[in-house]
A = this chain, B = another copy of it.
C-alpha cells in the first residue's frame, strides 16, 4: 500500500501559512510523517491578511498566461477542495459562489474595463458586459455614478481566516505535527542534499524539506545563493466594516482605477464582515497603517458603494504579500536535492493553495515534477 511506503517519508515544512498547511495536510493524509515549523502563529501572516478572493484574471496581467492558467486550474479544484477540507475539519470555510462585479466609476475606468473585458473574451472566460443600470439591478448598493460593469460568475471567494483554522485542524487530525513560534534557523545540507533543519540549536532530520515561508523564505540560513528565492514583502493595507441589513453586499465588488494608485475591492463575508483592500506598497517588512493608505481605501470603497459611509469599522490591518521577481510563485525542486520550494504566491496565495498542495505533495511522493508546475521552478530566474 502507498500509505505504508510513504509512512517512512519524513517531511519538514518551513512555514505554517495556507501553503505549508495545505501541503502538509495532503502529505499527512498520504501517510507521510510531516512536521511544520512556523516562526509565528500558524496562518497569521499573508494567509490571515488576505481578502480570500478567488479571481484568476483580476489579479494577474493578461500577459502572464501561465500564471492565469495555474490560477484557473486551482479555481476549478476549489469546490472539491472545500468539500474535503470541511469534511476533514468539520468546519466551514465560508466558500461563496455569488461571483464578482468589476465596476467602472468614471469614464477612464470604463475604458480600462473595456480593455479588461476584451482580454477576458479572448481567453474565453465566462464574463458579461453590462451598463450601470443593469449592474445596480444585481447589486442595488452600487453608486449611481457607475456606468459600466463586468459580471464574472466564476470569480468566487473563501473566508481565508476560516480556511486557516480548518487547515490547522485537518492537518493535525491527519497526524501532522505543528510547531508554532519556532523559527527554523538553518537548512542542513550535505553533499548537495537537504538533510533536515536546525531548530533551537538542534538538527532535525528529514527526507524532504519544503520551503513555504512566504516573504521570509530568503531569510532561512544554509541555502546557497543560487537556491535562495528572490522574494520581497509587498505591503497591503486593509480594513473591515460591519455590514448592516440595509447595507449588505452579495457579490465581490472590484474597482480597477485608471487614475488612482489604489484599486479597491469590497468582499462581503458570511458573518457580516465587509473586507476592503488593498494598497500595494514596497516598504520592506513595515506593517504600519498610514493616513494615505486608509484614505485611498475609504475613498475608493465609498465611490463604488456610497452606503458604506455609515458602517462601523471592525478592524484595520496591513499584511505582507510574498512577491517574487515576476509575480508568479516559485514551485518545485531546486538544485539542492530533496529541497522543494512552494513560496512567492504574492497576491494569489489563497487561490493557488489547492493546486500547490496537490502538485507539491505529488512531487514529493512520486519524485516527478508535473507539467503544471514546471514553468514555475526557481531555475527560471537563472535561465537568462
Contacts and interface: CB of A to CB of B under 8 A. Distances in A.
A309 B294 contact: no
A266 to B, nearest CB: 11
Contacts of A241: 291
Contacts of A295: 295, 298-299, 302, 309
Nearest to A302: B295
Interface stretch (A27-35, A37-45, A112-120, A310-318): A310-318
Contacts of A298: 291-292, 294-295, 298
Interface in A310-343: 310-313, 316
A310 B294 contact: no
Interface string A283-311: 00000111110110011011000001111
A302 B292 contact: yes
Interface residues of A, number: 20
Contacts of A316: 313, 316
Contact of A310 (B292, B302, B311): B292
Contact of A291 (B289, B292, B311): B311
Contacts of A313: 288-291, 294, 316
A290 B291 CA distance: 15
Contacts of A308: 291-292
Interface in A15-58: none
Given A298-B298, A299-B299, A292 B309 contact: yes
A276 to B, nearest CB: 8
A113 B278 CA distance: 37
A288 B312 contact: yes
A290 B239 CA distance: 11
Contacts of A311: 290-291
Contacts of A288: 312-313
Nearest to A301: B291
A342 B359 CA distance: 72
Specify which of A301, A302, A310 lies most central, judged by the most chain B CB atoms within 10 Å of its CB: A310
A14 B62 CA distance: 67
Contacts of A290: 309-313
A292 B295 CA distance: 10
Nearest to A298: B295
Contacts of A291: 239, 241, 298, 301-302, 308-311, 313
Contacts of A302: 291-292, 295
A290 B299 CA distance: 13
A309 to B, nearest CB: 4
Nearest to A309: B292
B299 A312 contact: no
Most buried by B among A239, A241, A292, A302: A292
Nearest to A239: B291
Nearest to A306: B292
Given A299-B299, A316-B316, A294 B292 contact: no
Contacts of A292: 298, 302, 308-310
Nearest to A276: B291
Given A290-B310, A291-B302, 5 more contacts: A239-B291, A288-B312, A290-B313, A291-B301, A292-B310
Interface of A: 239, 241, 288-292, 294-295, 298-299, 301-302, 308-313, 316
27 contacts: A239-B291, A241-B291, A288-B313, A289-B312, A290-B309, A290-B310, A290-B311, A290-B312, A290-B313, A291-B298, A291-B301, A291-B308, A291-B310, A291-B311, A291-B313, A292-B298, A292-B302, A292-B308, A292-B310, A294-B298, A295-B295, A295-B298, A295-B299, A295-B302, A295-B309, A299-B299, A316-B316
